[in-house]
Amino acid sequence: QKEVEQNSGPLSVPEGAIASLNCTYSDRVSQSFFWYRQYSGKSPELIMSIYSNGDKEDGRFTAQLNKASQYVSLLIRDSQPSDSATYLCDVRSAGGTSYGKLTFGQGTILTVHP
Amino acid sequence: DAMVIQNPRYQVTQFGKPVTLSCSQTLNHNVMYWYQQKSSQAPKLLFHYYDKDFNNEADTPDNFQSRRPNTSFCFLDIRSPGLGDAAMYLCATSRVGSNEKLFFGSGTQLSVL
């Protein structure tokens, strides 16, 4: 089993709909969770971070974390064509170092069509 | 603005000819990372520095080396590039103890002829 898995894509939603991106992880001691957005040919940019169970909202984005079930999700409300990108889930585990091991999921390609 | 800068944006090299990619940061972050990203794949961590301590990923080929002469700069050396090394190379930084979110440079797209 991969350490971090994202829902297989590509995901296509109509403009104005809710896009739901999911990520599961295997390491129970994972502590920090990040969602990055990457446009084609560009570097990833951080859009959300979450550290405790529950929901965290930032504008049209909501991150949801459930450590018991070992999943983290990203909801994008009122999806816009400009949201079309690859979304990367980044899970940090407590490793032998103070800053943890870095593990990206394989990414989910989101397309929002008008 | 404080940032992570990668040079050059595009690099072309010949098969087997050593190449160096550079990364600098003005964020004073203590951790610097190098990722390799091939088309339609997620970034793959090659190695990272925590201050001067070098940490190599187990599956990073020996062909890839790195240097960090000071806090601000980090270099990726590819000793004998092969066609399979053509990729986007991403440099990122983070600060230990500040939630460790990654700040990425714009990347260097490497082509091997």
Q: What is the pLDDT of residues A52-88, one digit of tens each?
A: 999 999 999 999 999 999 999 999 999 999 999 999 9
What percentage of chain A has pLDDT greater than the value 70? 90
User: Distance (Å, rounded) from C-alpha B102 to C-alpha A87?
Assistant: 15
CB B111 within 8 A of CB B52: no
Judging contacts by C-beta atoms under 8 Å, the chain B residues touching residue A44 are 43, 90, 102, 104
pLDDT band at A4 (very low <50, low <70, confident <90, very high): confident
- Pick the residue from chain B with its C-alpha nearest to A106: B42
Confidence of residue A98 (pLDDT cuts 50, 70, 90): very low
Per residue in B16-35, pLDDT (tens digit) is 999 999 999 999 999 999 99
Q: Do B31 and A88 touch (CB under 8 A)?
A: no
CB atoms within 10 A of CB B21: 21
Report the gap between the CA of A35 and the closest CA in chain B (Å): 10
- Binning pLDDT at 50, 70 and 90, where does residue B13 land? very high
* Helix, strand and coil in chain A, % to nearest 5: 5, 55, 40
Q: For residue A5, what pLDDT is reported?
A: 87
Are A92 and B100 inside 8 Å of each other by CB?
yes
